[in-house]
Amino acid sequence: MGAMVKPWFDKTSRVVPGERLTIGALCLTSTVRERRYDIVCRMADEVHDRSLAVREDAWLRIAPVPPPLPVLFRPSSAILVPAGESVNLQLAVPVYVRIEASTGAPDPVTVIELPTAPEKRSWFGAADAGEAVSVFRPEVPVPGGDVAVVTTPVTVRNASATILSIERLVVRTLHVPICAIDGLLRTPSVSVTFKGSEQVSTVQYGNTRSIVARGGEVISPERVAATSAILRRSFVWLKDLAG
């Protein structure tokens, strides 16, 4: 029986020099030469390369991390949620990869962070006070490829008295950690309660307990902890949920 191949995002996986690794649309190659790592990352016409002077026992690791900006989703057609009802969505968010190198310090250093899918900018909210968000293409992952997306379960509950039409949805993935379970990446669930266009919605970010209890493992912590200030800001923008 052959040894089980570790997925690229396993915490103990290391980049093997000379090996070519494709994650989503991102292709990574690394070579090691005289205490120097050369890393080349390609996506379409874009090339990012880094050279890193390292110790003899140095290693490189690739970790999945959430996108640094909120991610905008646009369903192909508006999702209508009647008053008092809720809808469960499984959103596939292309992960960023963070290449880390050991330097002898307790924590590895980040060499580079790149998206695994072509990323385009968009704007959410008013032009004089909104915020930048990411839009990924393709929004639907290609089955059979390397795991390059993290699934975020989102529950939207319509607590208002009118029908909620979800035309756009911004998910602040930077507030959720990434976990591995059954060879896939997923985040704790996010619950949104829509209370009407004139009131701020409430957002709840789940914790990792239920995933860990089912044998999952936390791979990357959240980029930014969801403090009350951030949540309050999120609520304000979520007024545009029906937008």
Partner 1 sequence: MAAIAARLGEFDFGEVIGWDWTGILSGLITFVVGSIVVRIAARLIVRGIRRSLRDQSRELVRKALLYTGTAIVIVVALNTAGVSVAGLLGAAGVLGIAVGIASQASLSNVISGLFLVSERFFEVGDVVRTGTYTGIVAGIDLLSIKLKTFDNVLIRVPNQALIEAPIVNITRYPIRRMDLTLTTPFSHALGETLRVLRSAADETLLVLEEPEPFVMLSQFSERGVEVILGVWFEHRNYVAVRNAVAGAVQQAFTREGLSFEVTSIRVDGGVPGEQRGTMDENDTVSDNE
Binding residues for partner 1 (CB under 8 A): 118-124, 126-132, 135
CA atoms within 13 A on the CB side of 200: 9
Token pair for 104: 């002898």
The tokens 């957002």 sit on which residue? Answer: 203
Q: Which is nearer to partner 1, 87 or 135 (CB)?
A: 135
Please state the closest distance from residue 139 (CB atom) to partner 1, in A. Answer: 12
DSSP 8-state class, residue 98 = E
236 CB contacts (<8 Å, ≥6 apart)? 200
How many whole angstroms separate alpha carbon 34 and alpha carbon 55? 10
Interacting residues of 141 by C-beta distance below 8 A, sequence separation 6+? 24, 92, 94, 148, 149
Q: How far is the CB of 42 from partner 1 (least distance, A)?
A: 15
Q: Which residue has the tokens 């900018």?
A: 121
Do the beta carbons of residue 23 and residue 116 sit within 8 Å?
Answer: yes
Residue 110 token pair: 């980040």
C-alpha–C-alpha distance, residues 168 and 153, integer Å: 16
Q: Whose Cβ is closer to partner 1: residue 59's or residue 124's? A: 124
Residue 57 vs 128, nearer CB to partner 1:
128
**Closer residue to partner 1, CB minimum distance, 126 or 163:** 126
Distance between CA atoms of residues 65 and 94, nearest Å: 10
**Closest distance between partner 1 and the C-beta of residue 44, in Å?**
10
Q: Which is nearer to partner 1, 168 or 195 (CB)?
A: 168
The structure tokens 């039409």 sit at 165
Q: Which is nearer to partner 1, 60 or 171 (CB)?
A: 171
What minimum distance in Å lies between the beta carbon of 127 and partner 1? 5
DSSP 8-state assignment for residue 240 = G
Q: Pick between residue 120 and residue 232 the one whose CB is nearest to partner 1.
A: 120
Closest approach of partner 1 to the CB of residue 143, in Å: 26
